[in-house]
Amino acid sequence: MIYADNAATTRISDRAFEQMLPFLREQYGNASSQYSLGVKAKRAIEQARKQVAVVIGSEPLEITFTSSGSEANSWVLRCIAETCRDEPMHIITSAIEHYSVLNACRALEQNGVEVTFLPVDNMGRVSVENVKAAIK
């Protein structure tokens, strides 16, 4: 079978599955809880946070895990808008961006953020000219 919708969901790699298996079977506690399984889950998350930080050269506190790419897209756009709320903001995106981005941009637009949705050609490409014209 050829699966061509990896943008929506992707089969977990064997290596990732093997690493996650203990947390799916034995160590599945709620990381926000105080009981033993929860504390172990919290420790594992914090260890993973440290490992990611080392790999990308950041601090562990700069790493936020989300439940999905959609949540991450929405979250980062809201955070940027909140951080820059006292400054004029202009977001440029394509008209065929992922729905999580389009929906977040539409919500930000309703809160005064200027958003430009660039058209794409029949190959799904945004023209350089349209990008240049949209930049303010």
User: What residues pair up with 117 in beta bridges, in sequence order?
Assistant: 93
Residue 75 pLDDT: 95
**Tens digits of per-residue pLDDT, 36-81?**
999 999 999 999 999 999 999 999 999 999 999 999 999 999 999 9
Q: What are phi and psi of 18, to 5 degrees?
A: -60, -40
pTM for the complete prediction? 0.75
Q: Alpha helix locations (H) across 32-127?
A: 36-56, 69-83, 99-110
Q: Among residues 12, 7, 10, 6, which one has the least CA distance to residue 100?
A: 7
Residue 4 pLDDT: 86
Residue 46 pLDDT: 97
Mean pLDDT of the 9-17 span: 92
> Quick check: 85 pLDDT over 90?
no
